[in-house]
Structure 1
């Protein structure tokens, strides 16, 4: 299946970055990402092939400079995923009209992320005070999982593990929304073929996750779409979009309409920040 993608990054390299951060500070880590990116530049040929396909869909010629910078952005976002768990107050998350998404999250909603920019770092943001239930496949490289376990995680986050079974996952999601908590789901990858739906994206059909939209339709909860844009050293801009499902339509029509809202915004964002796309596989491959 297309969504079965390899875990990028390695446990030893991330652990090294964290230890160097504790000794020398963030600026050292930031600049170390240049040689790290060069390593991927030389050896990650499968990533280069998939990114070339991606840039073709944007009508951009992927030069070596563009490719290297894309890898550097990925490396920074990967490290920030872990360091933000240690010192989230050292990070800045800029919003437009911040009170609107804050109120949505504090009253129960579906938070829709994409594999773009610093999505993983934003989960640790102090902006989200409500409990966050993250729907994800917990299976990952054991060394990386050990790092996540050893770092103190915000007490308001809870993992709903997709491998626990459909019934268990459905009950946990329903209970979380009944309690007016946040349920965070990835919109650009489904965990199974049953959850996939094909939508035109950058001129070609691609598979997206219809599950969050089905949940929103059935529960009448709003969807808050977050795109976390890397702007500088420990600095992110949160581009957000609220989607309300149209209950005057039947479920299938409402899902397609809302998915199109999401994908059109996604297209807009990646055209503005093309090097923050983190789907390192052929996204349009059937």
Structure 2
């Protein structure tokens, strides 16, 4: 299993995914030979262990649920346990897809026609999402139904041994990864993808210390959002939509897309629209908020 959290000093996100190579090996084995249901059963034990001993993400989530979403004490603790369990499920589901078990999953797609319209316009599309639900499984589902090529813009900061093992065991992700680099080569890669009428997906919810940001009202508090994704959305001549994929059943997902932005807008204007939609999704799926750091510091 793996998790994403902040560093020990300031509870801010540092861009790295932490995890155990042994954990990945165990779950890949169980999924392949004992089935997804058994892997889920094992998850209940593993995630309860995390709830007991991973005090930092547990306390950060408790604070978020109690002081931001105003969920009472016992209910908030139950929500944290459920959050850890569903997060574990999303990781297991990701591996299951890569192992060729996508036939076990079903999904509904709210406003799927918006993405089809984007594809038909021929300019590519920018999909802004968040660490809520299972974005990678969404990418695999989108690739099969909407477009042959989806690019994910992300920090390539996973532990190398885990990434190598996943690629060796499963063939890696079924979509392209555009790594964010200091030389800004990712901007050229995004441009080329859009020219080829491909979709480019970007997470827009995690601010890293030292990066440029915009501060906006989010769930009644001020929060910093990275301005980069919104600048990209504002600069390219491509439709922009906000997409989310939340787990809504044991083996099912609910995907959604918003009405595409097709007129020129400033980055800050796009950011405000995005945050408003993110608020709706967090309220709808609070147990699938997978940001394990102090979002409002």
- With structure 2 as the length reference, what TM-score do the two structures score? 0.86
12, 20, 45: which one aligns with 2:22: 12
Aligned residue in 1 for 2:235: 218
Aligned residue in 2 for 1:66: 79
Matched, 1:161 2:179: yes
Separation in structure 2 between the aligned mates of residue 270 and residue 258 of structure 1, nearest angstrom: 18
Deviations 1:227-268 (A, max 9, x none): 111111221001221341643x6xxxx222221111111111
Aligned residue in 2 for 1:262: 274
Shift of 1:123: 1.5
Q: 1:47 to 1:189 in 2, by over 3 A?
A: same
Q: Is the 8 A contact 1:229 1:276 kept in 2?
A: yes
Matched, 1:98 2:112: yes
82, 89, 103: which one aligns with 2:95: 82
Helix, strand or coil: the match of 2:248?
strand
RMSD between aligned residues: 2.1
Q: 1:8 to 1:188 in 2, by over 3 A?
A: same
Separation in structure 1 between the aligned mates of residue 281 and residue 240 of structure 2, nearest angstrom: 18
Separation in structure 1 between the aligned mates of residue 112 and residue 203 of structure 2, nearest angstrom: 22
Separation in structure 2 between the aligned mates of residue 122 and residue 220 of structure 1, nearest angstrom: 24
152, 166, 179: which one aligns with 2:171: 152
Separation in structure 2 between the aligned mates of residue 227 and residue 152 of structure 1, nearest angstrom: 25
Q: Is the 8 A contact 1:112 1:226 kept in 2?
A: yes
Q: Is the 8 A contact 1:5 1:281 kept in 2?
A: no
Q: 1:167 to 1:96 in 2, by over 3 A?
A: closer
49, 54, 64: which one aligns with 2:59: 49
Q: Is the 8 A contact 1:226 1:239 kept in 2?
A: yes
Q: 1:166 to 1:207 in 2, by over 3 A?
A: farther
| 5+ residue gaps, structure 1 | none
15, 39, 56: which one aligns with 2:49: 39
Q: Detail structure 1 runs of 4+ shifted over 4 Å in the superposition.
A: none
Higher mean displacement: 92-101 or 50-59: 92-101
Q: 1:41 to 1:154 in 2, by over 3 A?
A: closer
- With structure 1 as the length reference, what TM-score do the two structures score? 0.89
| 5+ residue gaps, structure 2 | 1-9
Separation in structure 2 between the aligned mates of residue 137 and residue 62 of structure 1, nearest angstrom: 35
134, 143, 147: which one aligns with 1:118: 134
